Amino acid sequence: MALRLYNTLTRRKDDFSPLDPERVRLYVCGPTVYDRAHIGNARPVIVFDVLFRLLRHLYGADHVVYARNITDIDDKIIDRAAERGITIRELTEGTARGFAEDVDALGCLRPTVEPRATDHIPEMIAVVERLVAGGHAYAPTEDGGAGHVLFAVGSMPDYGRLSNRTLDEMVAGARVEVAPYKRADGDFVLWKPSALHEPGWDSPWGRGRPGWHLECSAMSWKHLGETFDIHGGGLDLIFPHHENELAQSCCAFHRPVMAQVWMHNGFLQVEGQKMSKSLGNFVTIRDLLGTESFGGRRWPGEVLRLAMLRTHYRQPIDWTAKALEESERTLDRWYAAAEGVAPGEPAQGFLDELSDDLNTPGAIATLHGLMGESNTRGAGIASARLLGLLQAAPSDWAARREAEAGVDAAAVETLIAERLAARREKRWADSDRIRGELAALGVVLKDNKDGTTSWDVGRKGTA
């Protein structure tokens, strides 16, 4: 089956055909490094990591270039550094390092390139100069506009085609900055002046810094070219960020498109509510990995990953402790089934599902079948690894789960042997008592048809 992707720009699902099969190019908007990434930020990271893995499988690892930027200059960054009394570099370096550690724990491959905004100021200035020369941008000199350069949205007849809105609808639905030096309300900032205490760079329009939208146009141009294959990000970025990126790039380089395909993942809520610090349900990736703030426990990164992939990327997702528990039990079963099995090649049925607009729920359903049959487990392991799952050795996974639960494996085996003896001798009260002791330790038993008993680590107090 050919790879088919839903394109926000065309509003349909089409066969994907790269501009150059020898160099398939993917760009995804990355973090603004002023604070820890929350679990909603993890969704595009995981979704587009799966796409990156699939493209590498289809076209070869050496023929796919994945760029995910780091925004390290932004008003939020300036304000947060001032609040904490540290330099901007200290804030951005520490936050970027923490982000890398978090997404590594989620099983994500590192992108081919991770460009930083502050390393691409010359490219940003070059894009602005092109836009000014082409009549798509202007530098006001009166009414307080000195030092600014703005994109003239009226200069692009089809501005708004990505979000499918008219200019009036976009202005009405956005928090548009009202400024007397603007020619039109919808015009947006490409370059703005910096105060003496703010970071800034010399430019033809004076010392200043770039607007947010400009950064991605410059970085994608630098690393992927004037046009490329796929641009990804969250649904919330369609307008204004991606709409303005598209406008800048198309007008600067006189191209009909910036990216052939635009992909956007859906929103995330927590336990049925919008995630908000005021509601007390704001959860970072680090919280889930390293504290007991969600569901009363810590969670392995692979569990977070599987829980995220159980919902199709374009659909809204409800992040719940129940979904994490179910994902963990699934991984426990798959790792147990993978013990002593050599990986094979991904199953065709699995690839067909994944190639249908990253249908991860369908791919996971196929995986359940593959891991449930002994003669297909090799294909199941390879398929799971294409999703970024089952990367650890089964013994390492089991050891980690035992350690997390504080379980002494030798003691568990001794109790199971005692229980089996009690069952053979029909001492049912002793058998039930031992099962209860194991349940209190977080050990879940399964009595098999052949008379043996297998066990796994679950939640304490459950049988």
Summarised one tens digit per residue, pLDDT across range 300-355 is: 999 999 999 999 999 999 999 999 999 999 999 999 999 999 999 999 999 999 99
Q: CA 168, CA 184: separation in Å to the nearest integer?
A: 11
pLDDT tens digit string along 106-120? 999 999 999 999 999
Q: Which residues are paired to 234 by β-bridges?
A: 265
pLDDT score at 409: 74
* Spacing of C-alpha 252 from chain mean position: 29
Enumerate the H helices of 254-320 as residue ranges: 285-290, 301-309
Is the predicted pLDDT of residue 297 greater than 90, yes or no? Answer: no
Q: What distances in angstroms separate CA 325 from CA 39, 47, 322, 403, one per listed residue? A: 16, 21, 5, 17
Q: Which residues are paired to 71 by β-bridges?
A: 32
pTM, rounded to two decimals: 0.88
Give me the amino acid identity at 139. Answer: A
Q: What is the DSSP letter of 32?
A: B
Could you tell me which residues come within 8 angstroms of residue 51 by beta carbon, excluding any fewer than 6 positions away? 26, 230, 232, 263, 358
Q: What is the average pLDDT across 255-264? A: 98
Q: Is pLDDT larger for residue 439 or for residue 268?
A: 268
Q: CA 191, CA 148: separation in Å to the nearest integer?
A: 5
Is the predicted pLDDT of residue 445 greater than 60, yes or no? Answer: yes
Q: CA 151, CA 185: separation in Å to the nearest integer?
A: 11
Q: What is the average pLDDT across 44-56? A: 98
pLDDT classification of 461: cutoffs 50, 70, 90: very low
Give me the amino acid identity at 18. Answer: P
pLDDT score at 277: 84
pLDDT tens digit string along 267-283? 999 999 999 888 888 99
pLDDT score at 270: 95
pLDDT tens digit string along 346-396? 999 999 999 999 999 999 999 999 999 999 999 999 999 999 999 999 989
Tell me the torsion sign for CA atoms 321, 325, 327, 331.
positive
Phi, psi torsion values for 57, nearest 5 degrees = -70, -40
Is the predicted pLDDT of residue 127 greater than 80, yes or no? Answer: yes
pLDDT classification of 135: cutoffs 50, 70, 90: very high
Q: CA 319, CA 46: separation in Å to the nearest integer?
A: 14
Burial of 244-259, coded b for 16+ CB within 10 Å and e otherwise, reads bbbbbbbbbbeeebbb
pLDDT score at 401: 76
Q: CA 441, CA 456: separation in Å to the nearest integer?
A: 11
pLDDT classification of 458: cutoffs 50, 70, 90: low
CB 176 within 8 A of CB 185: yes
Could you tell me which residues come within 8 angstroms of residue 326 by beta carbon, excluding any fewer than 6 positions away? 307
Give me the amino acid identity at 273. Answer: Q
Mean pLDDT for all residues in the chain: 93
Give me the amino acid identity at 116. Answer: R
Indicate the burial class of 129 (C-beta count within 10 angstroms; 0-12, 13-18, 19 or more): middle
Q: CA 313, CA 264: separation in Å to the nearest integer?
A: 8
pLDDT classification of 447: cutoffs 50, 70, 90: confident
Tell me the torsion sign for CA atoms 140, 142, 143, 148.
positive
CB 361 within 8 A of CB 310: yes
Of the candidates 459, 341, 327, the residue with the CA atom closest to the CA atom of residue 401: 459
Across the beta sheet with 268-270, the strand order is 273-274, 268-270, 317-319
Q: Which residues are paired to 137 by β-bridges?
A: 151
Q: Where are the beta strands (DSSP E) in 296-377?
A: 317-319
pLDDT score at 402: 73
Q: CA 2, CA 327: separation in Å to the nearest integer?
A: 29
Q: Which residue has the tokens 């990253």?
A: 358
Q: Which helix (H) or strand (E) holds 345?
A: none
Q: CA 127, CA 52: separation in Å to the nearest integer?
A: 28
pLDDT score at 439: 86
pLDDT score at 462: 42
Q: CA 296, CA 289: separation in Å to the nearest integer?
A: 12
Q: Which residue has the tokens 């804030």?
A: 91
CB 101 within 8 A of CB 301: no
Could you tell me which residues come within 8 angstroms of residue 344 by beta carbon, excluding any fewer than 6 positions away? 378, 379, 381, 382
Is the predicted pLDDT of residue 430 greater than 60, yes or no? Answer: yes
The first and second tokens of residue 142, run together, are: 């009166």
Indicate the burial class of 59 (C-beta count within 10 angstroms; 0-12, 13-18, 19 or more): middle
Q: Which residue has the tokens 């003669």?
A: 375
Q: Which of 153-167, 234-248, 358-372 comes out lowest in average pLDDT?
A: 153-167
Is the predicted pLDDT of residue 463 greater than 50, yes or no? Answer: no
